[in-house]
Amino acid sequence: MSDIKPVHVLNGPNLNLLGTREPAVYGRATLADIEALCRETAGRLGAVIVFEQTNHEGVLIDWIQRAGREAGAIVINPAAYTHTSIALLDALKGVDVPAVEVHLSQPAAREPFRAASYAAPAAAGSIAGFGAMGYALAVEAAVRLARARMAEREKGS
């Protein structure tokens, strides 16, 4: 049972390769393992998730817009689009749903081009460097943000 709308967990390019992709950087967990961790975390908190991955920027934008209509909160790992996509920033700013940015690695500690994030200015907060565990932390933060938003709305009405 869930009092809030689902948390949409959105994943960008190359994250479908997790498990075999640069394991020294991203760990050995597959995206399916991470999905299971997110479902378990949400379930423990009485919430549900929608979990998606795409290699296409426009699809990620479509999913952010859909989350604006259908989600209580967003967890997003935009992967490389983090560092390149103004469309990502505009989409996150364009929806009235709290977003949590998550990265497996710590981009700020890597190549200089990874230091900038187009998601960060539109996110409630960012979690990076904790590997797969970061997704569990991000889902928990997202559920709390969605509940807080809902309580605010109920107080206002």
Q: Enumerate the active-site residues.
A: 26, 103
103 binds ligand DQA (CB under 6 A): yes
Helix (H), strand (E) counts: the chain: 5, 5
Quick check: 12 and 54 in contact, CB under 8 A? yes
Would you state the structure tokens that stand for residue 108, as one six-digit string? 């700020």
State the Cα–Cα distance between residues 50 and 6, nearest whole angstrom: 7
Nearer to ligand DQA, 22 or 152 (CB): 22
* 16 interacts with ligand DQA by CB under 6 A: no
Report d(CA 123, CA 119) in Å as an integer.
6
39, 66, 114, 147: which one contacts ligand DQA (CB under 6 A)? 114
Q: Which stretch binds ligand DQA (CB under 6 A): 66-74, 99-107, 136-144, 147-155?
A: 99-107
Give first-to-last CA distance, the chain, whole Å.
23
- The least distance separating ligand DQA from the CB of residue 49, rounded to whole angstroms, comes to 18
Binding mask 67-96 for ligand DQA (x = CB under 6 A): ----------x-xx-x--------------
**How many Å apart are CA 82 and CA 89, to the nearest integer?**
9
Cα gap 76→99, rounded to integer Å: 7
| Number of CB atoms found within 10 A of residue 19's CB | 15
Residue 104 within binding range of ligand DQA, rule CB under 6 A: yes
Pick from 6, 27, 72, 107 the residue near ligand DQA by CB under 6 A.
Answer: 107
Least separation in angstroms between residue 101's CB and ligand DQA is 9
47 near ligand DQA (CB under 6 A): no
Contact set with ligand DQA (CB under 6 A): 14, 77, 79-80, 82, 103-105, 107, 114
